[in-house]
Chains A and B, each alone.
Chain A
Amino acid sequence: MMQFFEDARQFMPILLQGAYVTVQVAFLSLALSTVLGLTLALMRMSGNPLFYVPAVTVITGLRGIPIIVQLMYIYFVLPEIGIDLSAFTAGVIGLGVAYSAYHAENFRAAILAVDRGQYEAALSIGMAKAQLMRRIILPQALRIMLPPYGNITIMMLKDSSLASAITVSEVTRAGQLIASSTFKNMTVFTLVAFIYLVMSLPLTALNSWLERRFAAK
């Protein structure tokens, strides 16, 4: 037991550096996937096939391909056509793009859940389509989409570990490196698991707070 704490004290600074990268990857890919997801959702719901056909194709494709394969594609295949990204950038873009499909489906479901009467009421006072979305539909959809959004955020935090496969030095990768040179698997991966848990707990708490807050009204 003493040995565990001894090792922990030694490994922790490296692991925490990894955790910092994990937070960066998770946060940046969350921002990217949110913007892309909303764009895809709006494209998919526009009545114009010029927009919704590409959107449906992209969403279906992204959902059907494992995230780790998408990451490898971006990191190992794109350089062959001259797009050379750092592991970190490739990880953020890969996760962001992959998760945009899930955000898009969440946003779409939330927007569709807003009562049709709301569109009609907004149209009947003369609102234009963009105004109607911004002022009436999206604020209501926001309440519906927040709980699933929180869940997706937690999944993204955990799935940022997939970036270790393309050598992003986030916490899982840092753990792997320490473990393979010290053979202290149990200590290292217990610490890694603990770090993920600690990072996700505030998100879980925030999530249930949002759920309660928006259920109230």
Chain B
Amino acid sequence: MIEVKEVSKSFGALTVLKSMSFTVARGEVVCLIGPSGSGKSTMLRCVNGLERHDSGLISIDGMTVDTKSKTIGSVRAEVGMVFQRFNLFPHMTALGNIVEGPVQVRGRPKGAANEEAMALLHKVGLSDKAESYPSQLSGGQQQRIAIARALAMKPKAMLFDEPTSALDPETVGDVLAVMKDLAHEGMTMLVVTHEMGFAAEVANRVLFLDRGEILEEGPPSELLKRPQNERTRDFLQRVLHPGERTVRDDRP
């Protein structure tokens, strides 16, 4: 479904992605983990063409992602994206946010789009918030609306960039629950996350990214329990036991 082949990307002199390759099969959930600045967000943003990759090939269900092409809009419409900071449209209600894509981009009639949006609101547990503006919602509620907004486009795959890391701890669970439901329904998902519990439970595969390279990949039961690479081990140590300092930290 998502195919990334030898993709490289630099910002000026800084190489962020070094010839990266991976695939996400239809219905598969892949988690992308790695230290801050390793290029996880950049990778995700290249997949739906928010960032332009310098070389290599990215395709979604056979459609090539090329930010310069005229059809990039229709490729993006097929891929849902959920951001760390929600990015809901503040001048529209929750319902307005959800129907915006179907009505404006897909040309769906308003009535049908509204009905579908209400069903999505129900799915994310926020039926009573249809008329609320984003500023009237908690972080967790906003993020669930953002997921509904992405789903309203009936995407072939969903990208998540640390969807829970800007949330209060008590609202994280609601968002993860929605994501788990999606995964169980067979949605193809590529998820950047620091929630190792989610990765362990839901992911089919986990990729460990460091300095723009995939250092290790495997099913969560392998990679999270018995990491082979030393840097993977260090990273997991730091994420799972944030209190303790690792003595062997030789990173620059």
Contacts and interface: CB of A to CB of B under 8 A. Distances in A.
Contacts of A131: 104-105
A140 B48 contact: no
A90 B101 CA distance: 46
B135 A217 contact: yes
A217 B74 CA distance: 33
Interface string B30-74: 000000000000000100111000000000000000000000011
A217 B133 contact: yes
A127 B50 contact: no
Interface in B119-154: 133, 135, 146, 149-150, 153
A46 to B, nearest CB: 16
What is the size category of the interface that chain A forms with chain B? 10 to 19
Interface string A118-161: 10111111111001000110011001000000000000000000
A126 B74 contact: yes
Given A140-B90, A217-B133, A125 B149 contact: yes
Contacts of B81: 120-121, 124
A115 interface: yes
B165 interface: no
Contacts of A118: 87, 89
B91 A139 contact: yes
B100 A120 contact: no
A212 to B, nearest CB: 17
Given A117-B85, A121-B88, A127 B135 contact: no
Nearest to B50: A120
B51 to A, nearest CB: 10
Interface of B: 45, 48-50, 73-74, 76-81, 83, 85, 87-91, 100-101, 104-106, 133, 135, 146, 149-150, 153
Nearest 9 interchain pairs by C-beta: A126-B77, A125-B101, A121-B87, A117-B87, A124-B81, A126-B105, A126-B76, A126-B73, A139-B91
